[in-house]
Structure 1
Amino acid sequence: MTHLVNDPAAFADEALAGFAAAHRRWVRAVPGGVVRRVPTAPGHVAVVIGGGSGHYPAFSGLVGPGLAHGAAVGNVFASPSARQIRDVARAAEAGGGVLLTFGNYAGDVLHFGQAAERLSAEGIPVATLAVTDDISSAATAERDKRRGVAGDLAVFKAAGAAAEQGLPLAEVTRLAQLANARTRSFGIAFSGCTLPGAGRALFEVPAGRMAVGLGIHGEPGMGERPVPSADEAAALLVETLLGELPDGLDTPRGQRAGVILNGLGAVKYEELFVVYRTVARLLAEAGVEIVDPEVGELVTSFDMAGVSLTLCWLDDELAPLWTAPADTPAFRKGGVPERGASGTGPEDTGPLSDETPAAAVPQASDASRATAVTVLAALRAVRDTMAAHADELGDIDAVAGDGDHGIGMRRGSAAAYEAAAEAAGRGAGAGTLLGRAADAWADRAGGTSGALWGVILHAIGAELDDTERPTAPVVAAGVAAAATGVRRLGKAEVGDRTMVDALVPFADVLGEGVAAGRRLADAWGPAATAAEAAAKATAHLLPRLGRARPHAEKSLGTPDAGAHSLALIVRAVQHTLADAPQHKEG
């Protein structure tokens, strides 16, 4: 798949632009994603969904009457940034508040959480909900750690239908939470997916075998089995889901369920129908009443050859929400009345510009502008290093994750350098330059790493500011603040097998060297060595957070991608500092 590509780094943006152009009846483009062409009814809750590209029809294809009011769309398999989510939410919001709902992945949780904080600070009522339907990704005792897969649709549908009724934010959120609590999904795959421009799939399944319990970001399955017949596949899917009923249900007999048989990208509709014929029979034999089943591609993973089954166990509250009308580019149910003059406001036919006016650059001292030259050189070195190691980082990440870390780091570091260069050309000081770079990295990289590198650059920039030439203690304080910020936002500590395992030793050794009176460049070298050693040592740790957690054993023997990339970056910056005249005095 994805042979029709221009620049792989631009794939997500170009795909979104083409989607918006093709579906002007339903949506209009806004910075960060799309919103309904007909504005949200005044006073109604706006349901804003989102996640990475590569899952169409999720997420942009689910925007329209009866479903979502807007979708924030990130890069390939990477969450949208907090700024993108906030921009989409502000474009969709109409006075009734916003429900942000998304799959339960670390990057999405970080970025949607940050967006919620910013919206709330602006006086917009906001709630968040991470979908957790994938039963293979965590045990029943840890359901809050489960991934969101095709069950996203059932939760989004409940929220959208509730909002369409004009219910208040608290009630829309409660019903969405109820749908999430009563939704379960399970999937199988026969081959991995290939990212745009990549030469091979993120994971391989041996001939004659299938992966069981896979994720939708190219994560390998939880195990392997021989390839079944269609009837055997249907039986596995049904039996697995009937083996875990929601709280309060003792038996499936006599229960109603919304059913989703979802193709992951390369399984064709005729094959899905063959599987569904047995799914329907087995559910009927178990005494389950199937309500408005959906069979097709609904939450995909590029060209992955796989299928998943979702059961949303309906009660008297959820059943009418599941069957309520909806009209979106990729999902339609029932008949939706014409909108526009009936209290929802006029149709908005003008797309919002994706261009944001450049913010004014604060006045900076000559000393700070001179420091900005060194900072820009460091960011150039970071960009070049990430470009050179992108494939290596992707391979490391693919061992137990989704394989996109190298792509995200290359994309984020390049955007950071471009933003910094633009700021430097306008006379920015070191603090402002790093702040602009931080925002660009978070926006373009998305995902967990994008959010965390945004925190790192912002923290260091805040210490440098735009006034004086920073001393070594000032820089060390900025790095220490960055380590604190990453731990707070990512909720990770040393030993969790994350970037923190390399960042904290780096910050500690740097601080000790500076406190001993060493020049910054001299203190930076030993600190970089400590980061490298710590990153290498993560190969012996089991992951406790992130997408690699369900595949903990597979990751042993391979360092954490985030820790390794940080070690590469701080070593590249050391070379820049050594060559910078303004740092040779301390």
Structure 2
Amino acid sequence: MVHICGDEDDFATHGLRAFNHIFQDIVRPVRSGALRAQPGPQGKVTVLVGGGSGHYPTFCGFVGSGFADAVVMGGIFASPSIQAVATIGRLAHRGGGIVMGFGNYAGDNLNFGIAAERLRAEGIDTRIVVTTDDVASAPPETPERRRGVAGDIIVFKIMGASADAGYDIDAVEAVSRKANDRTRSFGIAFDGCALPGSPEKIFTVPEGRMALGLGIHGEPGIDEHDLATPEVIAEALYSRVMAERPPEARRLAVLLNGAGATTTEELFVLWNALEALFERDGLTLIAPLVGSYATSLDMYGCSLTITWLDEELEGFWRAPVNAPVLCRHKVEGDWVPASRQAIAELPVHYERAETEAGSQAGRCVARAIARLAQTLHEEEAMLGRIDAIAGDGDHGQGMARGSRAAARAAEAASSAGAGARRVLEAAADAWGDRAGGTSGALWGEALFAFSTVLDDRSALEARGVRMGVLKAARRVREIGKAEPGDKTMVDALAPFVATLERHHEQPGPMTEIWAEAVQEALAGAEATKAFAARKGRAKTHGDHSKGHPDPGALSFALAMQALSPLVADLI
């Protein structure tokens, strides 16, 4: 639902007023719309676009050089009035006639159509181009019945670029119609949207399901499926827009559009799956776009739009543009498929240990890291729940991700015959790199510090393991600036280390010493239930964490416990 609203009757008006103020370097305000701040030359064809509000940056974001000359906006999901369209048309006209662009909806057809009649009666040559890109709304035999959705961005961009290039009104109309005829869109929704002031959504999608083919105002879709992987969603979108592909078409403009509530990161994940399909079919992408360009308030969903480009359309799609919705120089070159993009990386080389004992020690370290990764994967959800009480809930995910990467790196190094030091170095770097965040840095640095007391020639020994743990602990406290009682990893680490140090003076079987140290670490983690967090993100709501263990302390204790069965083999 819309949370920042005020009087719902003023929602669209206040939004337009703010838009005109924020982008005053590009637009200037008029009642119910906007004009370019710097009008085009006399004799230029005027591109006037518009429709209902609630779809930002469609339509008001289209005004600017290389795009539209003017926009006229209606209320939320409502066509602008005849009077507003005609008035803004008169204000924007530069003598070369007007080409109006809008989506294929009854209200827009009526209001823009009558306004065009009035302008023609005044001697202003006025043409209409209606977008009809939504393949879900009608079969290919009746394209005139299809709705206009996110295809507006590509069609109107080409329309505006052709007008700025000096095309006369016949040519602007013709190239715009060609762009529309070669544009297809299909959308899906995971949840509906609510109008300003309304507590109820226009439509809902059952939990765990996705609706296929919905319109941008919540118009009914054509089907409903179980929520699926990015690859399945990509195929659902791709197959429908490609079903009407012209036989000769190989080059295309592409827009993966968010419906309003969908995050750009989610769209990027989906793009990876889509891009693989384009590459599979040998298609060339020209300046693809990913983001929220045609929204429906807070609808959760996305759509895929493609335009089959010929030489003329491609030139106008590549042309420079400066509008709130899109700002870029002339686009040069084709998009290289992701699989062929060169990624700058330093080469990784693992030297084989000088002795078999060294290689054996490396394999032991790799087994230990793999065991950690398995345990942290199993405990990922639990650690995340605890972290969410006062933190951001990502501790379990970060620990699982980091340890998985560490296990892969350790396995690669040990398979190459590397010794204990090099294997642990590889694991440390991978953990810190992939886990990210505070825990990633702490664990990465701890493992790296541990590795510095080892070598690549010798077998593992109890003394080396004890020294490694001590050095790792010092490094954690050095960079984390935490002390016992701060409700951090240190509350489990400190008693674990203290136990190892105590038995340094009173030697005994390492398996027994390790088991005792683990119990002390678990007790230390349990004791953090009584503490309020004083470090990290949790400190902001420190009291909320009381009654729950610190996730960092608990994950450390569980990790050390996971190694217990391996201690006899390691040393």
Same fold (TM over 0.5): yes
1:318-467 alignment runs, 5 A limit = 318-334=313-329
In structure 2, what is the equivalent of residue 54 of structure 1?
Answer: 54
1:40 CA drift (Å): 2.3
In structure 1, what is the equivalent of residue 247 of structure 2?
Answer: 250
In structure 2, what is the equivalent of residue 97 of structure 1?
Answer: 97
Could you tell me how far apart the structure 2 residues matched to 1:41 and 1:202 are? 44
In structure 1, what is the equivalent of residue 281 of structure 2?
Answer: 286
Choose from 239, 262, 265 the match for 1:267. Answer: 262
Could you tell me how far apart the structure 2 residues matched to 1:37 and 1:91 are? 12
Could you tell me how far apart the structure 1 residues matched to 2:128 and 2:291 are? 28
1:2 CA drift (Å): 2.1
- Return closer, same or farther for 1:251/1:162 CA change in 2, 3 Å cut-off: closer
1:316 CA drift (Å): 1.0
The amino acid of 1:143's aligned partner reads P
Could you tell me how far apart the structure 2 residues matched to 1:75 and 1:224 are? 30
Could you tell me how far apart the structure 1 residues matched to 2:316 and 2:85 are? 25
In structure 2, what is the equivalent of residue 210 of structure 1?
Answer: 210
In structure 2, what is the equivalent of residue 134 of structure 1?
Answer: 134
The amino acid of 1:24's aligned partner reads Q
1:16 alignment partner, SS class: helix
In structure 2, what is the equivalent of residue 79 of structure 1?
Answer: 79
Contact 1:323 1:333 in 2 (8 A): no
Contact 2:253 2:287 in 1 (8 A): yes
1:92 CA drift (Å): 1.1
1:32 CA drift (Å): 2.1
2:311 alignment partner, SS class: coil
In structure 2, what is the equivalent of residue 219 of structure 1?
Answer: 219
The amino acid of 2:165's aligned partner reads Q
Could you tell me how far apart the structure 2 residues matched to 1:144 and 1:180 are? 11
Contact 1:83 1:115 in 2 (8 A): yes
1:317 alignment partner, SS class: helix
Contact 2:102 2:152 in 1 (8 A): yes
In structure 2, what is the equivalent of residue 234 of structure 1?
Answer: 234
Could you tell me how far apart the structure 2 residues matched to 1:101 and 1:68 are? 9
Could you tell me how far apart the structure 1 residues matched to 2:330 and 2:139 are? 39
2:41 alignment partner, SS class: coil
Contact 1:45 1:97 in 2 (8 A): yes
- Seq. identity, %: 46
Contact 1:32 1:87 in 2 (8 A): no
Listed one character per residue, the Cα deviations across residues 24-67 of structure 1 (whole Å, up to 9, x for unaligned) are: 01111112211100012110001000000000000001100000
Could you tell me how far apart the structure 2 residues matched to 1:100 and 1:50 are? 8
The amino acid of 1:165's aligned partner reads A
Would you say 1:143 and 2:140 are equivalent positions?
A: no
In structure 1, what is the equivalent of residue 307 of structure 2?
Answer: 312
Larger Rg: 2
1:250 CA drift (Å): 2.1
Root mean square deviation of aligned Cα: 1.1
Could you tell me how far apart the structure 2 residues matched to 1:214 and 1:263 are? 13
The amino acid of 2:189's aligned partner reads A
2:95 alignment partner, SS class: coil
Could you tell me how far apart the structure 2 residues matched to 1:3 and 1:136 are? 31
Listed one character per residue, the Cα deviations across residues 58-103 of structure 1 (whole Å, up to 9, x for unaligned) are: 0001100000001100000000011111111111110001000100
In structure 1, the gaps of 5 or more residues are 337-586
In structure 1, what is the equivalent of residue 69 of structure 2?
Answer: 69
1:158 CA drift (Å): 1.0
1:322 alignment partner, SS class: helix
Could you tell me how far apart the structure 2 residues matched to 1:201 and 1:19 are? 25
2:288 alignment partner, SS class: strand
Q: Once superposed, which parts of structure 1, at least 4 consecutive aligned residues long, lie more than 3 Å away?
A: none
Listed one character per residue, the Cα deviations across residues 285-312 of structure 1 (whole Å, up to 9, x for unaligned) are: 1111111000001111000000000010
1:251 CA drift (Å): 5.9
Contact 2:70 2:88 in 1 (8 A): yes
Could you tell me how far apart the structure 1 residues matched to 2:280 and 2:311 are? 23
In structure 2, what is the equivalent of residue 479 of structure 1?
Answer: none
The amino acid of 1:243's aligned partner reads A
Contact 1:210 1:225 in 2 (8 A): yes
1:175 alignment partner, SS class: helix
Contact 1:49 1:100 in 2 (8 A): yes
Contact 2:49 2:68 in 1 (8 A): yes
The amino acid of 1:330's aligned partner reads V
1:130 alignment partner, SS class: strand
Contact 2:52 2:77 in 1 (8 A): yes
In structure 1, what is the equivalent of residue 27 of structure 2?
Answer: 27
Contact 1:132 1:145 in 2 (8 A): yes
In structure 2, what is the equivalent of residue 466 of structure 1?
Answer: none
In structure 2, the gaps of 5 or more residues are 332-571
Listed one character per residue, the Cα deviations across residues 7-26 of structure 1 (whole Å, up to 9, x for unaligned) are: 10111111100111111011
Could you tell me how far apart the structure 1 residues matched to 2:144 and 2:12 are? 29
Listed one character per residue, the Cα deviations across residues 545-576 of structure 1 (whole Å, up to 9, x for unaligned) are: xxxxxxxxxxxxxxxxxxxxxxxxxxxxxxxx
In structure 1, what is the equivalent of residue 8 of structure 2?
Answer: 8
Contact 1:137 1:146 in 2 (8 A): yes
Would you say 1:186 and 2:186 are equivalent positions?
A: yes
In structure 1, what is the equivalent of residue 557 of structure 2?
Answer: none
Listed one character per residue, the Cα deviations across residues 341-374 of structure 1 (whole Å, up to 9, x for unaligned) are: xxxxxxxxxxxxxxxxxxxxxxxxxxxxxxxxxx
Contact 2:35 2:71 in 1 (8 A): yes
Contact 2:155 2:176 in 1 (8 A): yes
Could you tell me how far apart the structure 2 residues matched to 1:36 and 1:250 are? 39
Would you say 1:301 and 2:296 are equivalent positions?
A: yes
1:136 alignment partner, SS class: coil
Contact 2:318 2:330 in 1 (8 A): no
Could you tell me how far apart the structure 1 residues matched to 2:90 and 2:222 are? 39
1:335 CA drift (Å): 5.6
Could you tell me how far apart the structure 1 residues matched to 2:313 and 2:325 are? 22
The amino acid of 2:93's aligned partner reads E
1:180 CA drift (Å): 0.3
1:333 CA drift (Å): 2.4
The amino acid of 2:230's aligned partner reads A
Could you tell me how far apart the structure 1 residues matched to 2:325 and 2:141 are? 35
